[in-house]
Structure 1
Amino acid sequence: MEIIHLRSRKETYLPWRTSQDISSLPLPRFIVIRLGKRLIKVVVWNPYLGQTRCIECRYSHRTINRGWDRFCYALGYEAKNSCRNLKFLRFIDIYNGEQENEFDWYEIYDFDSGSWKTLDVTPNWLSLFGSRGVSFKGNTYWLASERNSEDYDDHIICFDFTREMFGPLLRLPFDAGNRDYVNLSCVREEKLAVSVRHRQTRETDIWITTKIEAEEVLWSKFLTVDTENHLLTSERFFIEEETKLVMGLELNGRRETFKIIGVEAGYFTEFDFGNGVHRDYRAHACSYVPSLMQIKQPPAGRKWKHQSDSEKLRYDQNKSRLVSLEKRAEEEMRNPVDFLSHCLRL
């Protein structure tokens, strides 16, 4: 298996072998572009076809301390017979037990209409802000927990791009402690995989799905990796079922290393990519298979469709509330005591 590191794009591509038809393989990629602390735009990119499309966000929000982005993003598609209409989800959900500081805003961009729409979502779950979801057959899954629970990442939740709604919380096959590392991944476009690295035993258990439906997910334990001497806490890991390989990109300080563990063969190897270019930025790894999915382009000269009066009202209300919270956060960060309180609420 060949591993290609593109230093300029800070990504590692893993070309998987596959017997599937190329048109059924993963979605195009997207890149969030910022200038300083401001979000500028999102670029959806199909590198195989050389197609791109820029999405102008309705509100260019400010990131918080050291550039952390509290929004989550996901690209998926609506299945219409044999057609696939791309959609882009963007949301923020601030919940810390203080009602005056709680806020959520879910919106979706439709590539066909070229317009944004606010979604009616009443979340009963929590996920880490800025967490990266896993795309699977046009939908996106996130690690999550019950909203008022003290447990962490003990469920997954799926956003259905066809119905434009979240499904129920789906229980993971284990109980993770609050100091364990839990990560979600995808095995090609066929299965989901989840890993939990136990702090006490330094072992990593990996489970893969045997059944995935809207309201039910069944899991089977794939393997256990002894990672005591080979730290594996990557937020995005990869497995190869046939050869029982486990891979992940690790960040130790500013040093970036891609690690490969052969469980049955009993070997370990790593690729050292050196120090990152900046302390506030880190490399990300993703599996990539060429896709023939077309990125529909908007009509020339049109940015987005005219908003209805009700949608404009909802947008104005959400924007006003978010601006107020951003200003309050900036004021708190100027005061060391308030800044510590702010960090504890994240």
Structure 2
Amino acid sequence: MRSTCKKWYVLTKDQRFAKKRGKEFLMLMNRRVYLIGVNLHNNIDLSIKCRGRLISRDETAQGFYVSQVFHCNGLLLSVSGKTIDDTRLVVCNPYGVKPKWINPKDNYGRLDIFSLGFDKLCGSYKILRIYDFDNKLQIYDLSSNSWMIPRDTLGRDIEYMQNGVSSKENTYWCARDKQSQYCFLFCFDFTRERFGPRLPLPFNGAYVSLSAVKEEQLAVLFQPSDKSEIEIWVTNKIEPEEVSWSVFLKVEMKLRVLSWNFLIDKEKKFAVVFDKDKAKGFKTNYDIAYVIGENGYYRRVDLRESPNKPLCRIVSCYVPSCVQIE
């Protein structure tokens, strides 16, 4: 893989470089993957700059769109295709050379859920696939190039799952229970090849959003239906079977945020919540962002006009690595 931006293409093994670039994020926009830099200067000037767009050297991948992308340890798992029904998996390191296409055991479906993690026991990266209406499971081992069916199962009592995020080489999801309609957190442990128990969120509610903080912590956003405020909490401890939370920000906001797509900067104590503005007409949507910070601070930023296009989605914080896939 390479990029249209030289900063994206330069390969480095210096870990200090990786730490310095910790304010960069992967964004899925218009079915393409971009690297963006986010910074807030003096709590006034929000800077969101595109560092580069990920494109493929592989001629067979030209013209592909990306419907899902998952990040783990600098590796990207992309769900790509030329049409909605043409679904293919590819794993790559954007700083590496050759992507790895994953041959399916059977045809992928457009509603399949994928995630990427690391088995610490056998030292191998693995892909989890959740598919069909009864939540069947498959695991692909990138070392042995083989699919297998794990012993564990995912129950049918889950009504809705958000996009998963990676933390400590496992995958976490926010999901909603069919009967109670309340959300909870749960994890797939790639070493044990099984799901952990349902973990509590720091509040009761039906609408929450999950984000990763440098793959070491999780952040969750909540907007109560009976209050004009946004709450963001971060994990103090996160393991497949245990979690604890502390409040990060609480801000009064009269507007309702519909996208549930956000990122945070722990050092500067602010968050950016991405949304769409339809106030100027149904046919034209505008990408906007709300910057929220301490002491009730929040400000709206107009990003760009994007008629009839899906909302930009932040995938995760991105830190380069030297991990290679053979």
| TM-score of the alignment, normalized to the shorter chain, above 0.5 | yes
1:209 alignment partner in structure 2: 235
1:128 aligns with 2:169: no
Structure 2 residue matching 1:170: 3-state secondary structure: coil
- The 8 Å contact of residues 12 and 284 in structure 1, kept in 2 or not, is answered as no
CA contact (8 A) 2:208 2:220 kept: yes
Question: Could you say which structure has the higher helix fraction?
Answer: 1
For residues 5-31 of structure 1, the C-alpha deviation after alignment (integer angstroms, 9 at most, x for no partner) is 896725462468xxxxxxxx8331222
User: SS at the partner of 1:88?
Assistant: strand
Is there any run of 5+ residues in structure 2 with no aligned partner, and where? 1-22, 40-71, 279-283
C-alpha separation in 2, matches of 1:237 and 1:50: 31
Q: Tell me which residue corresponds to 2:19.
A: none
Counterpart of 2:112 in structure 1 is 71
Residue 226 of structure 1 deviates from its aligned partner by 2.0
Distance 1:54 1:282, change over 3 A: farther
Query: Counterparts of 1:1-346 in structure 2 under 5 Å?
Result: 9=32, 11=34, 13-14=36-37, 26-62=73-109, 69-80=110-121, 84-92=123-131, 94=133, 103-124=134-155, 125-126=157-158, 128=160, 131-146=162-177, 149-153=179-183, 155-176=184-205, 178=206, 181-229=207-255, 231-252=256-277, 255-264=285-294, 266-275=297-306, 281-297=310-326
Distance 1:60 1:121 in 2: 22
The structural deviation recorded for 1:49 is 2.8
| Distance in 1 between residues matched to 2:106 and 2:114, nearest whole Å | 14
Query: Cα distance 1:31–1:135, how it changes in 2: closer, same or farther (>3 A)?
Result: same
Contact 2:26 2:315 in 1 (8 A): no
Q: Secondary structure at the match of 1:128?
A: strand
4+ residue segments displaced more than 4 Å:
1-8
Shift of 1:240: 1.2
Tell me the number of residue pairs that the alignment of Structure 1 and Structure 2 aligns. 265
Choose 1 or 2 for highest CA Rg. Answer: 1
What is the rounded CA distance, in whole Å, between the counterparts of 2:265 and 2:139 in structure 1?
33
Q: Is the 8 A contact 2:270 2:293 kept in 1?
A: yes
Distance 2:210 2:28 in 1: 24
1:134–1:127 Cα change, 3 Å? farther
Alpha carbons of structure 1 residues 109 and 275: separation in structure 2 relative to 1, 3 Å: same
For the Cα contact (< 8 Å) 1:11–1:284, is it kept in 2? no
The alpha-carbon distance between structure 1 residues 50 and 285, as it changes in their structure 2 partners (threshold 3 A), is farther
Q: Is residue 291–residue 298 contact of structure 2 (8 Å, CA) maintained in 1?
A: yes
The 1:256/1:133 distance shift into structure 2, 3 A limit, reads farther
Q: Is the 8 A contact 2:229 2:252 kept in 1?
A: yes
Q: Give TM-score scaled by structure 1 length.
A: 0.67
Unaligned 5+ runs, structure 1: 17-24, 63-68, 95-102, 298-346
Scaled by the length of structure 2, what TM-score is found? 0.71
- What's the % identity of the aligned pairs? 31
Shift of 1:290: 3.4
Q: Which has the higher strand share?
A: 2
Look up the equivalent residue of 1:259 and give its one-letter code. A
User: What amino acid is the match of 1:241?
Assistant: K
Rounded to whole Å, the distance in 2 between the matches of 1:208 and 1:88 is: 26
Deviations 1:223-243 (A, max 9, x none): 2122324x4343431111222
Shift of the alpha carbon at 1:287?
3.6
